[in-house]
């Protein structure tokens, strides 16, 4: 082997070694960057999962809020119905109170009239009662006429009837 070949060989070897080292350093630098990006992606995925879970929870709360809104509107209808019934009851109770007052007033007037009738009955002497006469009516019995029984189509007008 010649010295020139040996020098060229070593020179090529050094260049290759230098290129291999440069590639190794580049790969290590890229690996470091990729590890950082992988960590960032993992953190972002965790945040995305957390946000997704919170979104689902928010949707459930919106559904529950909708249910509560429907229930509240139903409760409003029930409260309005209760108010309507309560006002009708109050009106009926007022009418009942006035009717009771009128009834009590009428009873007082009736009692006054009864006492006035009793006073008037005391002032008027009792009328003598006349004996009730029984009237008896005698009825005469007529004997059936033989000629009338034989002639059934002949109309007799004794009592004013046509039959």
39-75 pLDDT, tens digit each: 999 999 999 999 999 999 999 999 999 998 888 888 8
Query: What CA–CA distance (Å, rounded) separates 75 from 112?
Result: 55
Q: Does the structure show a pLDDT above 80 at 10? A: yes
Q: Indicate the number of domains in the chain.
A: 1
Query: What CA–CA distance (Å, rounded) separates 111 from 8?
Result: 149
Pull the structure tokens for residue 99.
């009717």
Mean pLDDT, rounded, for 134-155: 58
If you count them, how many residues does the chain have? 163
Higher pLDDT, 147 or 9: 9
User: What is the pTM assigned to this prediction?
Assistant: 0.38
Across 5-9, 49-53, 149-153, least confident range: 149-153
Residue 158 phi, psi (nearest 5): -95, -40
Look at residue 141 and tell me if it is in a domain. Answer: no
Question: CB under 8 Å to 156, separation ≥6 — which residues?
Answer: 148
Look at residue 115 and tell me if it is in a domain. Answer: no
Residue 29 CB neighbours (<10 A): 10
Q: pLDDT grade, residue 129 (50/70/90)?
A: confident
Question: What's the domain range around 59?
Answer: 3-95
Look at residue 135 and tell me if it is in a domain. Answer: no
Look at residue 12 and tell me if it is in a domain. Answer: yes
Q: pLDDT grade, residue 132 (50/70/90)?
A: low
**Closest Cα to residue 78, out of 66, 90, 86, 88?**
86
CA distances from 117 to 32, 107, 125, 126 (A): 124, 15, 13, 14
Query: What CA–CA distance (Å, rounded) separates 43 from 38?
Result: 9
């Amino acid at each position: 082997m010649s010295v020139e070949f040996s020098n060229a060989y070593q020179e090529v070897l050094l260049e290759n070694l230098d290129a291999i080292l440069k590639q190794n350093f580049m790969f290590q630098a890229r690996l470091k960057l990729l590890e950082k990006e992988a960590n960032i992606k993992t953190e972002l995925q965790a945040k995305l999962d957390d946000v997704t879970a919170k979104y689902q929870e928010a949707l459930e709360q919106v559904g529950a809020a909708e249910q509560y809104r429907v229930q509240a509107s139903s409760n409003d209808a029930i409260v309005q119905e209760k108010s309507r019934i309560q006002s009708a009851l109050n009106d009926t109770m007022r009418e009942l109170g006035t009717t009771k007052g009128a009834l009590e007033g009428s009873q007082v007037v009736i009692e006054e009239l009864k006492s006035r009738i009793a006073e008037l009955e005391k002032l008027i002497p009792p009328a003598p009662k006349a004996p009730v006469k029984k009237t008896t009516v005698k009825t005469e019995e007529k004997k059936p006429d033989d000629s009338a029984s034989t002639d059934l189509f002949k109309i007799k007008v004794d009592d004013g009837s046509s039959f």
